[in-house]
Structure 1
Amino acid sequence: MPPTGWKAYQYNPSMGAAILFIILFGITTMIHTWRLFSTRTWFFIPMMIGGYFETVGYIGRAMSANQSPNWTTGPYIIQSTLLLIAPALFAASIYMELGRVILLVRGERFSIVRVNWLTKIFVAGDVLSFLMQASGAGLMVTAANGGSTSSASTGKTVIVGGLFVQILFFGIFLLSAIIFQRRLTSSRGGGYVSSIDHLPWRKHMFALHTSSVLILIRSVVRVIEYVQGTDGFVMSNEVFIYAFDGLLMWVMLVIFVVVHPCEVGALLKREKLRGGRGFGVDGGEPLV
């Protein structure tokens, strides 16, 4: 039973919106699951799990909508926790793809971070963000189940800290990706770029840049939400959870359905089978 005086939402959640996003995330995540196993793009497992988190999270919102206004803690905890931490899983896969794109174009010298450290650094920051947000959500769950108000306050503070860590690392990641691409495209008067024009690196960099911006926008709005608190404008209006979280994260998943990193993985695998002779950059045949 929820504690006396506990109120899950400042509005009655929309059943229609919740069902719509269950369908959107459910279908897109199933496509990702099929692509992952059919192409063995294993570093995209976090992306797939994040999609299931989003789907189940919106199932929780649908359950809450069905209970209005006599909400129970179970569905509220499901939606608040899973929708909060899912983007951290998306981020892990995005970080890992950049290193593979750099290897694809043999552009290690253009990266401001050594490739063998790039994934480790950003994924470590992502894990820290994930753990902070999950622990903060745990404290808020404790408060929702009758714990002290101090637990809720501490939980919000930890969540905001985790979101700031996510914003910091994603900001640095996006800057690193932009600098890498600028260095690559301006090298040798563009001669190096012309030698790798047969490789699909541009569209994968576009996917990385766009998805990073979407997660950054979502995280900033989430920070504002938790800083304002329960009675704040963001948390009091349901449109924000859909316009600046659900929709942005779904668009991000769609981007990676259209521009799936399995293409990069397949090219790298073929390069390995060729004995590392290159992709036509150093005189070998173009690998297309």
Structure 2
Amino acid sequence: MNGKFKNTKVLVFGLGVNQGGLGATKFFGKLGAKIRVTDLKTAEQLKTSLDELKDFPDIEYILGGHREEDFDWADLIIKNPAIKPGNKYLEYAKSKNKQIEMDMGIFLQYVLPSQIIGITGTKGKSTTSTLIYEVLKTSHSRSVILAGNIGKSVLDTIEYVNPKTLVVLELSSFQLEAFEQHQVSPKYAVITNIYPDHLNYYQNMEEYILAKKIIAKYQTTENFLFLRKGDKVTNSPDFLKNLKGQINYFSAVDLPKDFKPKLP
């Protein structure tokens, strides 16, 4: 990694306790950025995250609330994925033409879409991602890493990525917002299924479906999309409209009757 972010004023908008902003804070701290962290939670509520940042004594913390002046100060704002669109501080930052990213957006500045195998879905994405990773790890000559929605920031893995690395990314609908912002999709995309979920975040089911569709939205004819055969949502003409990737369907029904995989 280069000195791209050295002395950049970075505001981490939402540290959280589930690695949401913690990995980004560590990442920019290691690169010599000037960091402020703002969160609605108190220091006591954020104790586990703050304990992991003790090696970065120069970080400024604004806890228990947010201030517009911190958004004015920042060159770059890192948004916690849990912060909903339309948040008044996000809108304020946009009105000031501030650069706003999620940790996934920063990750996409270091990794090409051609290196990514992306997996999303309402159910089964963790299992599917892990299985793909385990198979590739033991059978592929290139280095392979597993990252994404697995309990830690994708920025924790950047130091292990080189131009030949394959990255298996488990992707939540929230993380796919970064792909929309950068207008890219993984070369290899898997959608396990889509069922009603996160409707406290999205306005309706249609909006949630569109969020999932981002994983294939910017694919080219040289990319690949894997869909569950017979899925009422992902097999529908409306969903498939304007998708350019080569579509492949998977189904347990199509497996040989004697198929008994031995997993490690």
Q: TM (normalized to structure 2)?
A: 0.22
- TM (norm. structure 1) is 0.20
Q: More strand per residue: 1 or 2?
A: 2
Bigger helix fraction: 1
Higher relative contact order (CA 8 A, sep 6+): 1
Rg bigger for which structure? 1
